[in-house]
Amino acid sequence: MKEIVFITGATSGIGLACARKFAQAGYRLILTGRNGIRLEEIKTELTAQGSEALTLCFDVRDRQATEEAVASLPAEWNEIDVLINNAGLALGLEPEYEGRFDDWEAMIDTNIKGLLWMTRIIVPGMVARQRGHIINIGSVAGDAAYAGGGVYCATKAAVKALSDGLRIDLAPTPIRVTNLKPGLVETNFSRIRFRGDEERAARVYQGVKPLTGDDIADVALYAAQAPAHVQIAEVLILATHQANATLIARQ
């Protein structure tokens, strides 16, 4: 039986790249996100290439909707082998004392609470089967705060703490936990952070060759396919001219 990967935020960027990469590697795919039209387009693309895919359209901030979506999985789809907790976002870059309450709630509810709901709902089945792997998409932003990024950075520091805590709790089991911490990846991330301001979003990637979603998906797939006794616990993945969250040597 082919392994099943469940990807949150599979409609764009890193999540979409993971969907394509894991599909090529022969996984069955559960693709999730809020954009139902994109989900169906991606399912059509991947099934046309011979992959098996199922879509679930829900908002990870909504615990009840998340529980109902996972509960709706048919029996032949509910033994999840790999959970990729990828759905997430940054909103705004204002100083912490001027930030918007709604932005903070969206980031905390998506990046921390959504990841926790998914973990709490899916990992018990992995424990019962004594098989599974959780890949959380953290960030270099979780290593140290940067100007205007306090709340986003705090959510990614939380992803590290939650990944470490889960790894401790699962140590007696064969289940592995990976925290992938990308730096600059060119996706919709900056467009969303700057509320559709294309020029400002483009400036983030000016003068430097950023990572792509594919670069991150390669590492996720490597971690998932590592031998069973090898746990890729944490990986910091940076563009060559990026040294940390704040130092980028633009050419």
Looking at the annotation, which residues are catalytic?
152
Around Cβ 229, how many Cβ atoms within 10 Å?
A: 7
Q: Break the chain down into helix, strand, coil percent, rounded to 5.
A: 45, 15, 40
- Give the x/- contact pattern for ligand NDP in 191-230, rule: CB under 6 A: -x--------------------x-----------------
Measured from the CB atom, the residue of 137 and 221 that comes closer to ligand 8X3 is 137
* 139 counts as binding ligand 8X3 under rule CB under 6 A: yes
The three-class DSSP label of residue 27 is coil
Q: Please give the distance of CA 88 from its chain centroid, rounded to a whole number.
A: 7
Q: Is residue 178 a contact partner of residue 133, using CB atoms and an 8 Å limit?
A: yes
Closest residue to ligand 8X3, judged by C-beta, is 139
The three-class DSSP label of residue 234 is strand
Measured from the CB atom, the residue of 109 and 173 that comes closer to ligand NDP is 109
* Maximal CA-CA distance, the chain: 53
Binding residue (CB under 6 A) for ligand NDP from 35, 78, 212, 225: 35
**Contacts with ligand 8X3, residue ranges (CB under 6 A):** 139-141, 149, 183, 245
- The residues binding ligand NDP (CB under 6 A) are 8-15, 33-35, 38, 59-61, 86-89, 110, 137, 139, 182, 184-185, 187-189, 192, 213
